[in-house]
Amino acid sequence: MSALPNENIRQLEEKIAYLERHVTEQDKAMLEMADDIARLRREMLRFRERLSDGGAGSGPEERSPVDERPPHY
């Protein structure tokens, strides 16, 4: 019966190793998502600033969707 406790310990060690790897992968995914969210917030802020400026300072190549003609014209 001495082999049984050793087998249980080995199984627990395997589970702990799996969980540690899983936590590490989750941490990495969370950091990537946090970076993506920060980037998207910066982009959204720039878009809001452009909208609140009313397009002031935009060049001739930048038109508002209202000024654009549909593609079939």
Express each pLDDT in 3-56 by its tens digit.
Answer: 688 999 999 999 999 999 999 999 999 999 999 999 999 999 999 999 998 765
Could you tell me the pLDDT band of residue 59, with boundaries at 50, 70 and 90? low
Please spell the DSSP secondary structure of 6-65, one letter per residue.
HHHHHHHHHHHHHHHHHHHHHHHHHHHHHHHHHHHHHHHHHHHHHHHTTTTT--TT---T
For position 29, what pLDDT does the model report?
98
For position 32, what pLDDT does the model report?
98
Q: Please name the residue that has the structure tokens 């060690």.
A: 13
Q: Please name the residue that has the structure tokens 């002031």.
A: 56
